[in-house]
Structure 1
Amino acid sequence: MTMSLNGKIVGKYHQAKNAGDAGELFYHAAFEPGGAFDPNEGWLSGRKTTDDNFTFYKQPDLDKTAARVPDGDFIVPNTHPKYYFSIDPHGRLGWESNQLHYNDTTATVVEVLTNQASNAYKAFLRQKQISYVIAGDKILDAPLAISKLTKAFNLHRIMLGGGGVLNWSFIKQGLCDEVSIVLIPGVDGDSQTPALFQPLPTDDPDKLVNFTLKSATPVGDTVWLRYSISNS
């Protein structure tokens, strides 16, 4: 993740002086050959992060009279070496293609749904040739999602990239082994934007996660921090 100096992951601080250097460092580490997380077979984000960056809040073109689709997951053979996994429990994202482009990276889209997603939405994904897995009944079963994705797509490494609620959810369930943060040298005055980890009101306020510093690398005015995670 990129992050402001006061722990925010969204905001105008991205316009700070030398923020571009931080962005380049993040992209190289996460996506480019020879970066710290190469090979990275895919990255995973939540619905809002996906809408903010890729689907732009477009409504899916649903056929509510679509024939009932088969139960279970729907897996399409991959056409690119990288995947984008979107956590979309209710099936709301308006994809126009089964591929997306992020800078020089092309990725194949995969949806992670729950049983709350409608038949019409699953039919929509099938028509777009977008793979999906079902993980959970009313809420996301994150361990099941990771297990299904790992097996279906022969994955060895997945990068989690927000939002804050999803980051915290995966951290507290012991599903992450490292946190990588590129600090952007700026802060804005918006007090409502999400933090790197965003607990829900229902979360245990006494829940503590411990981190051990692996490295702190200064690059110009930014710092790249890497932590290992211990849930004990």
Structure 2
Amino acid sequence: MKRPNIFCHMTMSLNGKIVGNYHQAKNAGDAGKLFYHAAFEPGGAFDPNEGWLSGRKTTDDNFTFYRHPDLDLSAARVPDGDFIVPNTHPKYYFSIDPHGRLGWQSNQLQYNDTTATVVEVLTNQASNAYKAFLRQKQISYVIAGDTTLDAPLAISKLTTAFHLHRIMLGGGGVLNWSFIKQGLCDEVSIVLIPGVDGDSQSPAIFQPLTSDDPERLVNFTLKSATPVGNTLWLRYLVDHD
């Protein structure tokens, strides 16, 4: 399968969590600056790349804020297949949204100084009304899977449509694990925030589902461990069997 280099790049608490108020730790600023520079600024460790990919909950938490899409339930049937709009920015934001639930206001988003063009990854569970909504917003989408995401197909389609060479995988934990276990991730980059909170329910960087094989093992090879101010930057290569 033709695909880009995919690196999972995350901030993480000292006890392995990726969500929580530990981000407010007094020395978290070093981690935030390092995280952003590495993947989003010129001269960073992962520059150049064509953008990043995240799951629906991560997208709602950071960009769409749980708004409901403005759907026209009587919209005319849209053509079958994918819908690709020519890009207007050098970065893409690929959102895994199997059922078509995200309430986008625009086909672009802003993350710090980075402007990105939105691309949705749907399954056949997404309604005609939602696909019509995306078309009206001029938001590209690809369809990968019938009832659940077919990640290899999604990556293959995105690579062809958007000429991808390297992209970032940016959570959540379920999506990260899904890509890791399917051999779709080449490197894991962890920026440790020197803090821990008491939330026992927050997800880990890799979050298997109850249906996943508990005996599944993935091995990693340390590439580098770099102290930066009050944080530690860990980079691991994923050992593909």
Normalization by structure 1: what TM-score?
0.99
Instruction: Using the TM superposition, give the Cα deviation of residue 111 of structure 1 relative to its aligned residue in structure 2, in angstroms.
Output: 0.0
Query: Is residue 235 of structure 2 the alignment partner of residue 219 of structure 1?
Result: no
Amino acid at match of 1:66: A
Query: Is residue 7 of structure 2 the alignment partner of residue 4 of structure 1?
Result: no
Whole-Å Cα distance in 2 between the matches of residues 168 and 59 of structure 1?
27
Query: Is residue 35 of structure 2 the alignment partner of residue 32 of structure 1?
Result: no
Query: Is residue 102 of structure 2 the alignment partner of residue 93 of structure 1?
Result: yes
Q: Which residue is equivalent to 1:201?
A: 210
Aligned-residue identity in percent: 89
Whole-Å Cα distance in 2 between the matches of residues 229 and 5 of structure 1?
21
Instruction: Using the TM superposition, give the Cα deviation of residue 20 of structure 1 relative to its aligned residue in structure 2, in angstroms.
Output: 1.0
Whole-Å Cα distance in 2 between the matches of residues 80 and 74 of structure 1?
17
Determine helix, strand or coil for the equivalent of 2:115: strand
Moved over 6 A (4+): none
Whole-Å Cα distance in 2 between the matches of residues 40 and 32 of structure 1?
10
Q: Which residue is equivalent to 1:161?
A: 170
Q: Which residue is equivalent to 1:41?
A: 50
Determine helix, strand or coil for the equivalent of 2:73: coil
Query: Is residue 78 of structure 2 the alignment partner of residue 73 of structure 1?
Result: no
Structure 2 stretches lacking a partner, 5+ long: 1-9
Query: Is residue 200 of structure 2 the alignment partner of residue 172 of structure 1?
Result: no
Normalization by structure 2: what TM-score?
0.96
Q: Which residue is equivalent to 2:4?
A: none
Q: Which residue is equivalent to 2:159?
A: 150
Whole-Å Cα distance in 1 between the matches of residues 21 and 104 of structure 2?
27
Q: Deviations over 1:65-107 (max 9, x none)?
A: 0000000000000000000000000000000000000000000
Given that 1:172 and 1:231 are in contact with CA atoms closer than 8 Å, whether structure 2 keeps it comes out as no
Structure with the larger RCO, 1 or 2 (CA within 8 Å, 6+ apart): 2
Instruction: Using the TM superposition, give the Cα deviation of residue 21 of structure 1 relative to its aligned residue in structure 2, in angstroms.
Output: 1.0
Report how many residues are paired. 232
Q: Which residue is equivalent to 2:124?
A: 115
Instruction: Using the TM superposition, give the Cα deviation of residue 231 of structure 1 relative to its aligned residue in structure 2, in angstroms.
Output: 3.5
Determine helix, strand or coil for the equivalent of 1:213: strand
Structure 1 stretches lacking a partner, 5+ long: none
